[in-house]
Amino acid sequence: MARWNSRIHPLAAVGIAAILASPALADSVGSVGGDRESVKEAFTARGYSPYAGRNFPTRVYWGDTHLHTNLSLDARAFGVTLGPEEAYRFARGEEVTASHGERVKLARPLDWLVVTDHSDAMGAMNEIVKGNPALMRDPKVRDWHERIVEGGDTALAATMEVIETFAGITGEQIPEILMDKDFVGSVWRRYLKTAEQYNEPGRFTTIIGYEWTSTEGGNNLHRNVLYRDGADQARQMLPYTTAESFNPEDLWKWMQAYEGKTGGRLLALAHNGNVSNGLMFPEINPKTGESLTGDYARTRMRWEPIYEVTQIKGDGESHPYLSPNDEFAGYDTLWDKANLGPVPKKPEMLQYEYAREALKNGLKLEQRLGVNPYKFGMVGSTDSHTGLATAEEENFFGKHSGKEPKPERASALVGNFGDIRYYGWEQVSSGYAAVWATENTREAIFDAMKRKEVYATTGPRITVWFFGGWDFEPADARARAPGLTGYAKGVSMGGDLRAAPAGKAPSFLVAALKDPYRGNLDRIQIVKGWLDADGKTHERVHDVVWSGDRRPGGDGKLPPVGNTVDVANATWTNTIGASELITVWTDPEFDSAQRAFYYARVIEIPTPRWTAYDAVRFGVSMDANVPMITQERAYTSPIWYTPGG
């Protein structure tokens, strides 16, 4: 087990890595093994400055790909008053006033933000609430207005009716007046103007986007569409809506049409699939009932290179039912009861909803189709409907404005779908998207997403490097230069390993630095999935480096790191765990004939959950079933191995 020198502060270590992360040094050093002469030669080979000629990422940019404001029909119906302008101001570090009057500010600014309001009836709910006379001519819209203005349970019922109407759950037609293209166009142009106003390349990036909200029958197949472009291109076509189609394949056709017309570029990312009732990662096309085709697989991966693996409705990495031998599976999988309608969950649906199983099934489909439809990178984001990108446990403002901080929010309903109810404490303070980009611009962040050089966290800003190759060796973990060594000798997260050299097994350089505001690190794990000769998939979680002097037991499991959380005071101590971890791990069971993927999972020590902070600040008692402690984490994008590729 290797660990970075704990006498060097984590932020200093970031600086060291950045100083050494130079292509010039990479060319000079090649295989860094801690050799003093090699390092000396690297520093002097092409001049003194290690920054000269650098052309690959040396820092992480933090953001949120999924935030709603008062332009979203459901968010406004629940009471949010903040629009895109306030969302950008808050994300870049300013203090704003939340919808219910609370002053709020992030502990640290984000680097970028995507405001992704629903394309269906974008901006319409503002006018419904106001009682816009032009809209009140429709009796259904007028009824919604009157009930929402009444407030209380009546407003909640009306809000759910609006959402379910647009989701196709009620079977009723969406009022045509809310889909008027002139009206939608005026809202879209105002949104684009605000995005341009707050875009400051190099300081704070506003990425243009929207959410396409396919929820036919309550099955959540939502996608967020992100633009590489600015307003000049984005205004040429209105966002695609579910009034046109609930089928993701039709969204992809719209994306192709956009690129053909404007010369711009788009990508989409699917939401966490835990409320899709088995439809997010199918093996059978849900629209045709037929087996997936190679064309479907190629098209899906063309447009959907990344996936939202964790967010406010729960974590989507894996589920205890699917990974019973993984004690860290099922992080806050609290929304696993049903879809967004009244249809209960069946166990057989779960394998088509969670990322790890999708990655495994992707290997099977690639074997059959020649292309993997589920070869995605992973990010986290909030899906907050408050206009506030808050994923910090001690600064959590909830799913929607009705769940902004107040004494009763943990026990109150977030929403109900038929007999299925979700309560406030089941909200998850998650997550953020980490991007290894060359600079903080729309273009660089988009390009990093396309190459899947991204990772997810449940909120903490843990810095994670993950590289795979054929020649990493233990000494590389002592060189304190994961960027330099990783790019010189292998591929980064999101990459591919092909055609294993004879007698070689893949080796992985993985490193993590703790978030200086959060808990220490418990361990780093590498999750492997593979396809055997009989066409069956398997998985195994390897503890590869950890804090302290623990040793795996007879069952191969590493003992818990411990727990310093003082729930009564919502605090903890960093007297356990490590500030930084790094190692090189080689797969001991590698079979060069088997398709496989590998990704890193970084686990923090236990810290207080947002419910513990609420209990202290409001002086309330939580029910015994409410979790008060959490172990935050990060998930990297995978690295794939393809035999003979």
Tokens of 389: 């990108």
pLDDT at position 329, please? 95
CA distance 104 to 87: 12
Encoding tokens for residue 224? Answer: 């967020």
| Cβ-contact 340, 417 below 8 angstroms | yes
Q: HSE-up of 440 (CA within 13 Å, CB side)?
A: 19
pLDDT tens per residue, range 294-307? 999 999 999 999 99
Instruction: Average the pLDDT over 380-408 and give the result.
Output: 94
pLDDT for the residue 359: 98
Would you state the pLDDT for residue 541?
97
- Inform me whether the pLDDT recorded for 12 exceeds 80: no
Q: Residue 33: pLDDT above 60?
A: no
Confidence class for position 154, pLDDT limits 50, 70, 90: confident
Structure tokens at 433: 């998207």
Would you say residue 25 has pLDDT above 70?
A: no
3-state secondary structure of 554: coil
Give yes or no for a contact between 465 and 434, defined as CB atoms under 8 angstroms apart.
no
Measured CA to CA, the distance from residue 148 to residue 94 in angstroms comes to: 31
Give the tens place of pLDDT for each residue, 457-478.
999 999 999 999 999 999 999 8
- pLDDT tens figures, 339-365: 887 788 899 999 999 999 999 999 999
Give the N- to C-terminal CA distance of the chain in Å, as an integer.
Answer: 32
Q: What is the pLDDT of residue 175?
A: 86
Name the band, by pLDDT with cuts 50, 70 and 90, for residue 13.
very low
Confidence of residue 46 (pLDDT cuts 50, 70, 90): low
- DSSP annotation string for 2-54: ----TTS-HHHHHHHHHHH--HHHHHHHSS--S-HHHHHHHHHBTBS-TTTT-
For residue 231, pLDDT beyond 60: yes
Half-sphere exposure of 614 (CA within 13 A, CB side): 29
Least confident of 369-378, 385-394, 476-485, 544-553: 476-485
Q: Residue 526, exposed/middle/buried by CB under 10 A (0-12, 13-18, 19+)?
A: buried
Q: Where are the alpha helices (DSSP H) in 370-510?
A: 442-450, 482-489
pLDDT score of 21: 38
Average pLDDT across the chain, whole number: 89
Share of the chain above pLDDT 70, in %: 91
Q: What pLDDT, on a 0 to 100 scale, did the predictor assign at position 15?
A: 38
Check residues 151 and 108 and name the one with the higher pLDDT. Answer: 108
Q: Grade residue 223 by pLDDT with cuts at 50, 70 and 90.
A: very high
Q: What percent of the chain has pLDDT over 90?
A: 69
* Residue 129 pLDDT: 85
DSSP conformation letters of 458-495 = SSS--EEEEEEES---GGGGGSS-HHHHHHHHEEETT-
**The pTM of the whole model exceeds 0.95:** no
- Band of pLDDT at residue 499, cut at 50, 70 and 90: confident
User: Residue 222 to residues 138, 241, 446, 596: CA-CA distances in angstroms?
Assistant: 28, 11, 20, 28
pLDDT of residue 35 exceeding 70, the answer is no
Q: What is the mean pLDDT of residues 382-403?
A: 93
Q: Beta strands 112-115 and 59-67: pairing type?
A: parallel
pLDDT value of position 645: 58
Closest by Cα among 475, 479, 561 to 524? 561
Gap between the Cα atoms of 621 and 599, Å rounded: 39
Q: What is the Cα–Cα distance from 141 to 495, expressed in whole angstroms?
A: 50
Q: pLDDT of 241-276, one tens digit each? A: 988 999 999 999 999 999 999 999 999 999 988 888
Give the pLDDT of residue 176.
Answer: 82
What is the tens place of the pLDDT at every residue in 572-623? Answer: 999 999 999 999 999 999 999 999 999 999 999 999 999 999 999 999 999 9
Mean pLDDT of the region 158-186: 80
Rounded to whole angstroms, the Cα distance separating 511 from 144 reads: 53
Q: Buried (b) or exposed (e) across 311-323, using 16+ Cβ within 10 A?
A: bbbbbbbbbebbb
pLDDT of residue 451: 97
Yes or no: say if 465 and 481 are a contact pair by the CB < 8 Å rule.
no
Strand order in the sheet with 507-513: 490-492, 463-469, 507-513, 580-586
Give the count of beta carbons closer than 10 Å to the beta carbon of residue 628: 18
In the chain, the amino acid numbered 63 is G
pLDDT, residue 24, reads 33
Each residue of 108-119: pLDDT tens digit? Answer: 999 999 999 999
- pLDDT value, residue 51: 62
Query: How large is the average pLDDT for residues 183-200?
Result: 95
Least confident of 17-31, 380-394, 479-493, 604-618: 17-31
Q: What are the tens digits of pLDDT across the range 427-451?
A: 999 999 999 999 999 999 999 999 9
Q: How confident is the model at residue 507 (pLDDT cuts 50, 70, 90)?
A: very high
What is the structure's pLDDT at 38? 43
